[in-house]
Amino acid sequence: MKNNSVFLLMIISLMGMSAFVAVLCQGAELRRNFYEKSCPMVEHVAQSITWKRVAANSTLPAKFLRMHFHDCFVRGCDASVLLDSTPNNSAEKDAIPNQSLAGFDVIDEIKSQLEKTCPGVVSCADILALAARDSVSFQFGRPLWEVPKGRRDGSISSASEALANIPSPFFNFTTLKQSFANKSLTVQDLVVLSGGHTIGVGHCNFFSNRLYNFTGKGDADPSLNPTYAAFLKTKCQSLSDNTTSVEMDPESSLSFDNHYFSTLKQNKGLFQSDAALLTDHGSSNVVDEMLDPKSFFAEFKRSMERMGAIEVLTGSSGEIRKKCNVINS
């Protein structure tokens, strides 16, 4: 045993403590300064293009946040959500949960610019992680969380895998908890990341059953605030409406803040998955904690960094795509 301990210490000494820890921890191969020598302008380029685009289109932060989330929950954060379908394969972006995603052209602009300055170096997966962070951070004029880099791009993208892995707005708490646990995320992460619903919109077909046919008997969800339900019925006038969209956080859908949680406490969560956070004692306690803005921003930073490290490809795994929508030939 003593000899084994000495041998282990020798390995640690040779490898360096940071490298040793990296072997042990998921996502630890990612580093803040990964491109320091190979492409030092990566953060500046990504931020300047993203901020320029967000200044012209205030809906982009919600779209990039959702795109990053949906990417990481399917095969990890490998930019598989950016790949186009082919004649022989239906890709993630064509799965129902992803058909309303937008902002792919911004990712392409960032990639194109980086390919001019440091070709074949920066992954699309890192670009997407940066675009999500920078778009949400635009209103504050500073980064809200760190984006360690070094992700590589995957070569597989499947619409069926997207359907199987992306948490559904119809999930109850038990299913949500398991969905996040499958990605090594906690109930804390589940509640905190749901706070991302403070920006963006939801389409009627993902919640209108709560208004018109919750249990299959033409009834409404009793957990939904009746005044809010009446308002939603003026927007979504039938179960068949799949085009109308509604703010997920009324009166705050373009401002990233913790307003979602006070709305949720009033039983005005738009989706069944939002309302589900109040049905468990532990998650409900986290909702209460997130009513404090300082706590929310601190926890959102931690949870985004954890989510951004899900099942990442690093080292020699995957590839660095030349174009984000197609794998290298």
Residues carrying an active site annotation? 70
Q: Is the distance from CB of 49 to CB of 110 less than 8 angstroms?
A: yes
Nearest to 140 by CA among 286, 269, 290, 301: 301
Residues listed for the chain: 329
CA-only gyration radius of the chain, Å: 21
The answer to whether 291 touches 255, Cβ cutoff 8 Å, is no
118 φ, ψ (degrees, to nearest 5): -145, 80
Q: What tokens were used for 224? A: 């939904």
Q: Which two tokens stand for residue 94?
A: 């064509």
Distance CA 319, CA 52 (A): 28
3-state secondary structure of 150: coil
Q: What's the N-to-C CA distance of the chain in angstroms?
A: 50
Please tell me the distance from the alpha carbon of residue 61 to that of residue 51, in angstroms, as a whole number: 10
The angle, 0 to 180 degrees and rounded to 10, between the axes of the packed helices 60-72 and 293-307 is 50
